[in-house]
Amino acid sequence: MADHAQILPGTLDLLILRAVSLGPLHGYGILLRIGQISGNALLIEQGALYPGLYRLVRQGLLKTSWGTSENNRRAKYYELTAAGRKRLREETANWNRLRGRSAQRWLRNRRKYETRGLLPFAGRQIPASF
């Protein structure tokens, strides 16, 4: 568990929306996709995932349908609605703006960080985008 990063409050919804943006997935498939997106850096517990899924369905950002999983079990599949696609675009744009500003700030202050031996994100990758 020490190798996994903690997610910031409010980012779970964006991760879920991004995970289902490529097509319908059942809950376990969403967990696997989030792992792929993050390079297995994020571990989402099922106890956090399912309340997030229910919340996004209630908000009209995801819709559900029943289907058969890879192992022939009945499973609930989640997919984006038009409102979900719109929210994903907006949140992705916000993330990219924030990431760009952070990079600019780091480049301006790089010498100060280097001389003090303080290198932000040392040894960790910052996700390029969701």
Q: Which residue has the higher pLDDT, 103 or 130?
A: 103
* H or E element in which residue 64 lies: strand 62-68
- At 64-93, the pLDDT tens digits run 999 999 899 999 999 999 999 999 999 889
Across 39-125, the runs of DSSP E, i.e. the strands, are 62-68, 74-80
Q: Which residue has the higher pLDDT, 3 or 65?
A: 65
CA distance 126 to 120: 10
The confidence band for 130, taking pLDDT boundaries of 50, 70 and 90, is very low
Three-state DSSP at 77 gives strand
The structure's pTM equals 0.73
pLDDT at 48 over 60: yes
Residue with tokens 């700030």: 105
The whole-chain average pLDDT of the chain stands at 83
Domains parsed from the chain with CATH numbers: 11-116 (1.10.10.10)
